[in-house]
Amino acid sequence: MSRRALRRLRGEQRGQEPLEPGALQFVLRDDDDAEEEGPKRGPGGRRPGGSGKEGVQVNNRFELINVEDLEDDPVVNGEKSDCVLTDAAVSGNKGRIQRGNPETKREGNVAKAAPLEQSNASGKLRKKKKKQKNKKNSTGEASESGMEDIDRILERIEDGSGLSRPGPPPLSSRKHVLYVEHRHLNPDTELKRYFGARAVLGEQRPRQRQRVYPKCTWLTTPKSTWPRYSKPGLSMRLLESKKGLSFFAFEHSEEYQQAQHKFLVAVESMEPNNIVVLLQTSPYHVDSLLQLSDACRFQEDQEMARDLIERALYSMECAFHPLFSLTSGACRLDYRRPENRSFYLALYKQMSFLEKRGCPRTALEFCKLILSLEPDEDPLCMLLLVDHLALRARNYEYLIRLFQEWEPHRNLSQLPNFAFSVPLAYFLLSQQPDLPQHERSSAREKASLLVQQALTMFPGVLMPLLEYCSVRPDASVSNHRFFGPDAEISQPPALTQLVSLYLGRSHFLWKEPATMSWLEENVREVLQAVDAGDPAVEACENRRKMLYQRAPRNIHRHVILSEIREAVAALPPDVTTQSVMGFDPLPPLDTIYSYVRPERLSPVSHGNTVALFFRSLLPNYTVEGERPEEGVPGGLNHNQGLNRLMLAVRDMMANFHFNDLEAPREDNPEGEGDWD
């Protein structure tokens, strides 16, 4: 750390040194300071202001307040300067020269004035060279010793005042529980840690020329195979800021609204090719990318499906507001606005692809990001998933911290996934050999206590879990009334749905032999408490009957997005009978619309009977002379619809087997009459 920085840290400013002959002192400077001050001196080598406090040249008049404090000897790292006497002798010689013959003084001034311009020019050259030379050397030394010097000075100030000022807490303790780290949003970071950079990058050439994109993004990496990016009319605006939170919302321009209307018409046509045609004109329309990604995924084209999701994320990140932050955890997006839902769904689908790709740490970061956008409402119910990703990523400390901070006001222990995942995290933490023995023992005790509470609260989880893990339970457990078949049958339907979701997703985390033996020990402890008539058992039973009457809409939305068969089968009929669209599953009932889709003439309201019949078979059919529906390219006219209908009838007749019909009766051998 340079002496100039130390001088500024102590409050000293250049030009505040006392210049009286009796107290003239020399302040140590580095060479850069000396060269900077050199040209400012007069021809006689003195400062223009003369000597004394009155002659001090100060740019800021308020800097003279601390001049009296600088009369003491300068201290550098606790040592006085050894150059005070030398500087006093030099100043004495200068004084004798100035008091000498005036002619000699005049000649000296003339002699010094001639090479003045050359010295200034050469001084500038030396200054530039020395700065370039010392920049490389001083950067590393300053970065290493800078913090040490500052800490030493602060300790000296505290010792002198006699007061110990508590410093700020460490950075790790100041981070929000939903704080997102940028480096963990890149899956290549996690894959490099597993397989190495050479295996991940492969044959990619770092210096190859790629297509230039407008900005660098965090959520995804732009690819050269994508269409050239142009603003699709998607933007973000700041709605309000209150209580340290900032509320944002995406906005659609008029051009984007027209593309959105065409997209809705294409979805109603039930033809994916219409969406492909729309993407040719609007390659970064987000909802079209999401819907087409689902179609590719159903056709087992996972690579294309993931690429479309990444393109949608890139389009939305390019529309971010300058104040919108992914990492702060203080930016909110209201899910009730349809423009914001696309961002939620794109993040969720990208998270699902990352988990299947084997990047649970990156998927956990995306999960925290989704949860931070609206943690109170949690529209996609990410609390049913964050524990699973934390266990898969072996980030046990984060799961325990989230449970400890949110349990008092969110009652996370009432969710079966948290009730069983948190004790499992404690147990797996106790199995790590690098922890001290007392910490391992404490974690093991905490895990046993929590899993016993979970088994008491949710007894219907044990038998399906053992069945998933292919473990045959002991007869004393399977035949007991508490863990028997009645425990699973008697639980409410909403609780059955939550249990099915947790077991279908996280059952393989319990398959380890050490985990199973630990679970068996605690099952026996719970049975002993049940047989002893513990009042906590009856209290948990009453709580189950009261709390889990009906699951909220965000849980149903999460189950639909998860696509776990056991959980989807447990959905209530009023949800399964609804039409669920991939780009907006189960929209909120209190949706906030910023613009309304224009009304269009229904095809049922006009046309003859034949046209209505053709439309019932072919949604793209149009009567000859009638304009095709907007957003559905290539509408079928009358002749095309008739030809396609005849082909469909011919194929149906070719596959029809008359042998399936009943044979003629004996009293009617010719087969005349009606068909049975």
pLDDT of 52: 43
Q: Residue 271: CB partners within 8 Å, gap ≥ 6?
A: 619, 620, 632
User: For residue 36, what are its two tokens?
Assistant: 């900077």
Q: Which of 296, 299, 324 is nearest to 309 (CA)?
A: 296
Q: Are 587 and 341 in contact (CB under 8 A)?
A: yes
Residues of the chain with pLDDT below 50 are: 18-118, 135-136, 139-144, 148, 154-155, 157-173, 207-209, 213, 601-607, 621-639, 641-642, 645, 649, 653, 656-676
For residue 632, how many other CB atoms are within 10 A of its CB? 20
Q: Residue 104: CB partners within 8 Å, gap ≥ 6?
A: none
Whole-angstrom distance, CA of residue 291 vs CA of residue 457:
40
pLDDT of 120: 54
Residue labelled with tokens 């490389």: 136
Whole-angstrom distance, CA of residue 533 vs CA of residue 163:
59
- Tell me the pTM: 0.66
pLDDT of 488: 86
Q: Is 491 helix (H, G, I), strand (E, B) or coil?
A: coil
Q: Which of 443, 409, 441, 402 is nearest to 423 (CA)?
A: 443
User: For residue 11, what are its two tokens?
Assistant: 């409050």
Whole-angstrom distance, CA of residue 287 vs CA of residue 345:
10
Residue labelled with tokens 């040209």: 39
Distances 380 to 128, 370, 511, 548, 560 between C-alpha atoms, Å: 59, 8, 28, 19, 10
176-202 b/e (C-beta count within 10 Å ≥ 16 → b): eebebeeebbbbebbbeeeeeeeebee
Whole-angstrom distance, CA of residue 32 vs CA of residue 38:
10
Whole-angstrom distance, CA of residue 544 vs CA of residue 460:
11
pLDDT of 13: 53
Whole-angstrom distance, CA of residue 367 vs CA of residue 527:
37
Q: Which of 518, 453, 455, 516 is nearest to 482 (CA)?
A: 455
User: For residue 214, what are its two tokens?
Assistant: 């407008």
